[in-house]
Amino acid sequence: MEKHYYQKEIETMPVEDIKKLQSEKLVKQVRHVYDNVPYYRNLMDEKGVKPEDIHGIEDLHKLPFLTKADLRDAYPYGLLAKPLSECVRIHSTSGTTGRRVVAFYTQNDVDLWEDCCARAIVAAGCGKEDVCQVAYGYGLFTGGAGLHGGSHKVGSLTLPMSSGNTERQIQFMMDLNATLLCCTPSYAAYISESLKEQGYKPEDIPLKAGIFGAEPWTEEMRHQIEETLGIKAYDIYGLTETSGPGVSFECEEQTGMHINEDHFLAEIIDPDTGEVLPEGEKGELVFTALDKEAFPLLRYRTRDICVLSRKKCSCGRTFIKMAKPMGRTDDMLIIRGVNVFPSQIETVLLNEGYQPNYQIIVDRVNNNDTFEINVEMNPEQFTDKVSEILAMEKSLANAMKTMLGINPAIHLVAPKSITRSEGKAVRVVDKRKLI
């Protein structure tokens, strides 16, 4: 099969050359930040590091980390490295964890970001002949703008739908023969559920691929979306602080996302000690933006937990791959002393034949954590016989216990009673006031 790349010479560059390029860019970027961002200069001074101590990527560990707390401290202009007159765009995080930060872009920053998204679109097998339906939210959120820009760069016919209005999404998808759908995986699941309800079979749907990201999703959810829509579903990752989606993207192998290493230098650290971990170990992902001009974060702690791998990829790309992030350090629930990730719960649900429509409710009563999961029944599973429901709840609770090590109270609820997400799904309601 002929391989397609958006920027072949970069995406298939020998690893040694990538590292050399990263070293050169890092030296320049550290100088740029030190000279233009007093906030980071102070952090470097406190740590006793000067730009001349950084000769290449081997010196990266000498630099201080930046955290979301720093971004809040420095809000809104404190990490800006270019005059505002040279900036052309502002985006903001979704505020999933309750705290918004803003990021600035020069025209060059926008261009490079759109290139990253274009690489993702081509890696998903799409190009000039495709109709790209962008159903990520447009606005301050980076999802819509990023994929929209990437689609233009590739030359696909862009359908700028934004999120929401699912009826119209479906009408335009069918009438205008959309071949690529870009949105959050939870919205893709919602759209596919609606298509199924309207009687569409996978072979009636013109889509051939989907690029889904901006929130964690499981392999089980991928299979379900792929089957219902009759497509290949590719993952894409990014965060506002590093431009947006497109920091990494999946290729045809679908075994992890290639990080755009010409622009982003990735590390995995131990989230407790800050120690850099060797390749293959699980830890917190840290990014250094090598080319960003307006908002160039160095050693930014994402709080996303994942693993990197340099294993050779059959697609020919040489960029390092990151596994699907299993959640954020601040997504992880500690319930009765046990670490629980929503992604584990989703895996069990899909394996047991349920849809990914659920909500986790944690509370504390008399100093004990309570742990409940509301799970929606499919129309086929729906019954009003109490004994049947109790048996299903018990069986699901047992499967959860095996995966998590603790026993949740399962409540099966009627089909359609859990609100669908058009953007990032809210899976957890933690009522404990622990802080």
Provide the binding-site residues for Zn ion, judged by CB under 5 A.
251, 253, 313, 315, 317
Q: Indicate the SS3 state at residue 118.
A: helix
Cα separation, 238 vs 93, whole angstroms: 11
State in angstroms the smallest separation of the CB of 93 from ligand ADP.
Answer: 3
C-alpha distances (whole Å) from 213 to each of 217, 283, 331, 364 are: 8, 20, 16, 32
Q: Which does 239 bind (CB under 5 to 8 A by kind): Zn ion, ligand ADP, none?
A: ligand ADP
Q: Which does 315 bind (CB under 5 to 8 A by kind): ligand ADP, Zn ion, none?
A: Zn ion
Q: Which two tokens stand for residue 58?
A: 């081997």
State in angstroms the smallest separation of the CB of 215 from ligand ADP.
Answer: 5
Q: Which does 213 bind (CB under 5 to 8 A by kind): Zn ion, ligand ADP, none?
A: ligand ADP
Is the CB of residue 282 less than 8 Å from the CB of residue 329? Answer: no
Q: Which does 94 bind (CB under 5 to 8 A by kind): ligand ADP, Zn ion, none?
A: ligand ADP
40/300 with CB nearer ligand ADP: 300
State in angstroms the smallest separation of the CB of 309 from ligand ADP.
Answer: 16
68/317 with CB nearer Zn ion: 317
Adjacency order of strands within the sheet including 428-430: 409-413, 368-376, 358-365, 428-430
State in angstroms the smallest separation of the CB of 155 from Zn ion.
Answer: 22
Q: Which does 328 bind (CB under 5 to 8 A by kind): Zn ion, ligand ADP, none?
A: ligand ADP
Looking at the chain, the number of H-run helices and the number of E-run strands are 11, 20
State in angstroms the smallest separation of the CB of 124 from Zn ion.
Answer: 12
43/123 with CB nearer Zn ion: 123
CA atoms 325, 248, 28, 107: torsion sign: negative
Q: Indicate the SS3 state at residue 3.
A: coil
Q: Which does 210 bind (CB under 5 to 8 A by kind): ligand ADP, Zn ion, none?
A: none
Residues that bind ligand ADP (CB under 6 A): 93-97, 213-216, 235-240, 302, 304, 324-325, 328
φ/ψ of 238, rounded to 5, equals 175, 175
The C-alpha angle with vertex 208 and arms to 202 and 209, in degrees rounded to 5, equals 115
